[in-house]
Amino acid sequence: MTLAIYFAITFGAAGLSLIGRISERLAIAIGLVGLGAASLAAIGIDPNEALRIGGGGLAASAYVRLFLILGTVVGTILALVGLAAGSRRDLPAVTLGTMGAAGLALVLPDARIAVIAATASGLLGVLLTIVPTNGRAGATVGIRVARALVVAGAMAIAATAWIGRDLSELAAQPVVFGLAYLAFALAVAVRFGAIPFHVWAARLTDSVPEAALPIVTAWGPATFAVVALAWTDASIAPLLVEMDAERALILAIAIASIALAAFAAWIQDDLEHIVGYSIIGDAGFVLLAVAALDPDAWAPARTWILAYAVARSAFAAWAAAMRATYFTGRLSDLRGWALRSPVLAVAFVIIAVASIGVPGLAAFDARSDLIQLSLGGPIQGLVLLLAFAPLLYYGRILVIGLRRPDPATTTDGGMAGGPSLSPIDMTDLRGSLGRLWNANRPASAVLGACAIAVLALVVTAGGFGGPAAAAGLAPGLEGPTESFIPGPGDSVDGGSPPASALPGEGSGGPSFAPVPTT
């Protein structure tokens, strides 16, 4: 029942907001109220709930609940920041629809259905590319985003159908598993806009305001990645099949994304492009998790996905607040920003710490685990170093912020982004409140950015029970589905199946039958 309430609110409010979009205020009001209600509904989700519907079912878990709570709360704050900094009227509706479809994808135990819902979760985001005054340019970006979504979705649909049945009933050539795994892993890469599939994501930053960017490029793909990890854990990781070539390709894409996206962000001059490439760079670590093919990667991967989505949302909100405060996103015009806006500077440092992390924080440890589980030898050390590559662009932004402000652009010579109190005229209350809101748009955006920054730091540190929820088993209609937990003496190098691997035998052993490959 709690899941039904969540879906009714998210999809219902998204539909109403889109229907009411002829009136901008009505659409935004419905969307914001819906987002608030969706946050409450997400908090109320029973992690043990399971529903049987139409030959399938829905099953919640603690991780799903936390993912949806964070997604809706961050989405609400991003919508408010967008309202203050300038965004699309459809952002609240798109956030609602995306989080509704994301919830559906996460509670579907059958990966064949979940990938369809995860693909659909990105569709609404395409609407954000449309602008009233230059529809063709927006449509051009939008159709390319839709193309990436559908191509990724088609690959995932085919992969999950290929080996989507009970593994004990499936006997196939090893190449089948390799190709299916490769198709789904590449689908995740395309969906995140990982390098070299990043062109659509880069163009998207030209068209979508900063506050809306994480909904399209972080939260939607994160849902897709969680589904991919569940499928990989259930269908690929148990196999005694060599997949070195496939893994090498995915690892190459992951490392290229981590390194080149950080470099691209470093050389960009626009905050929105820096945000876009930073999202792509962090997504490289999600690809490492997909490439790990190790059950030990399950918990750190899901921990990292949560931290990554919230931290990148915080960075996007900060960029939006910068634009609202200084009316530009060009770094060359932002000299002295940190001196003029200490609150934004503090938020920036918090975001940098949350996204890069320090040893002891849950997200940092999770990322280190992913690197160690997926890579070996000297390349492991190199990628560990690359994890600190964001320091390049964070440092550049901060150095520019600490320079002496440009006198030509500093008209007031004082602080920026602070609250502004204007007198309230009781005979014109509505007008007074409107003027107060307009005068405090930058301050509101800064406040929202600070709120998400603190949230990101808490999630990165392992707050809200994130690591425990991430370590939980995948949801199933008969209770949580056992993940692959190798027993003592299990072979992963093509040897004969260990006795403890037989289904139903022993406690704590794997719940699958290793597949006889021919």
Partner 1 sequence: MNPALAGVALAILIGAIVAASSRDARIATLGMAVVAVGSPILADPIASPLGLAARIVAALLATYLLWIAVRDGGAPTGGSRIGWAAEASVAAAAAIVGYGTHGLGVAGSGPALGQAVGFALAALAMAPLVTGRDTIRIGMGLLLLTHGSLLVRVALGGTPSPLEELVTAGFIAGLGGVVAVLSTAARWDGSDGGFALAAPGGPDRTTHAPPRPDRRRPRPAAESLPLWTGDAFPTSDASSSNDPFPVDEP
Binding residues vs partner 1 (CB under 8 A): 22, 24, 53-57, 86-89, 104, 108, 110, 112-113, 116-117, 119-120, 123-124, 126-127, 129-143, 146-147, 150-151, 153-155, 157-158, 160-165, 170, 172-173, 175-176, 206-207, 209, 327, 411-412, 438, 441
Distances (CA, A) of 505 to 351, 481, 500, 508: 47, 16, 6, 9
The position carrying tokens 């839709």 is 146
To partner 1, the closest distance from the beta carbon of 22 in angstroms equals: 5
Residue 49 CA: distances (Å) to CA of 38, 58, 223, 350, 477: 17, 8, 20, 36, 9
Tokens representing 241 are 């099949």
Q: Are 476 and 57 in contact (CB under 8 A)?
A: no
Q: Which is nearer to partner 1, 133 or 427 (CB)?
A: 133
| Residue 488 CB partners (closer than 8 Å, separation 6+) | 500
Axis crossing angle, helix 244-267 with helix 271-292, rounded to the nearest 10: 160
Q: Closest separation between CB of residue 379 and partner 1, Å?
A: 32
Which CB atom, from 38 or from 117, has the smaller least distance to partner 1? Answer: 117
Shortest distance (Å) from residue 324 CB to partner 1? 9
* Tokens representing residue 106 in the block: 């996460």
In this structure, are residues 514 and 502 in contact, taking their beta carbons and an 8 Å threshold?
A: no
Name the residue nearer to partner 1 (CB basis): 507 or 518: 518
Residue linked to tokens 């559906």: 104
Shortest reach from residue 348's CB to partner 1, in Å: 21
Count CB neighbours of 190 within 10 A: 25
CB of 129 to partner 1, least distance (A): 8
Spatial separation of the C-alpha atoms in residues 403 and 407, rounded to whole Å? 12
Nearest residue (CB) to partner 1, 127 versus 297 = 127
Taking the least distance from each CB to partner 1, the nearer of 202 and 502 is 202
Query: What whole-number distance in Å separates Cα of residue 351 and Cα of residue 357?
Result: 9
Shortest Å distance, C-beta 90 to partner 1: 10
Residue 364 in tokens: 């940092």
In the complex, least distance from residue 266 CB atom to partner 1, rounded to whole angstroms: 21
Nearer to partner 1, 7 or 263 (CB): 7
Nearer to partner 1, 267 or 399 (CB): 267
Residue 143 or 252 having the CB closest to partner 1: 143
Q: Is 438 exposed, middle or buried (0-12, 13-18, 19+ CB in 10 A)?
A: exposed
Report DSSP letters for 304-364, one per residue. HHHHHHHHHHHHHHHHHHHHHHHS--BGGG-TTHHHH-HHHHHHHHHHHHHHH--TTSHHH
CB of 55 to partner 1, least distance (A): 3
In the bound state with partner 1, the residue whose beta carbon lies nearer, of 54 and 508, is 54
The CA–CA distances, whole Å, from 387 to 315, 361, 380, 395 equal: 17, 14, 11, 14
Q: How far is the CB of 455 from partner 1 (least distance, A)?
A: 26
Output phi, psi for 270, to 5 deg: -115, 135
Shortest separation between residue 406's beta carbon and partner 1, angstroms = 14
Q: Where are the alpha helices (DSSP H) in 357-440?
A: 362-374, 378-386, 390-402, 429-439
Closer residue to partner 1, CB minimum distance, 264 or 352: 264
Residue 481: what are its φ and ψ, rounded to 5°?
Answer: -80, 130
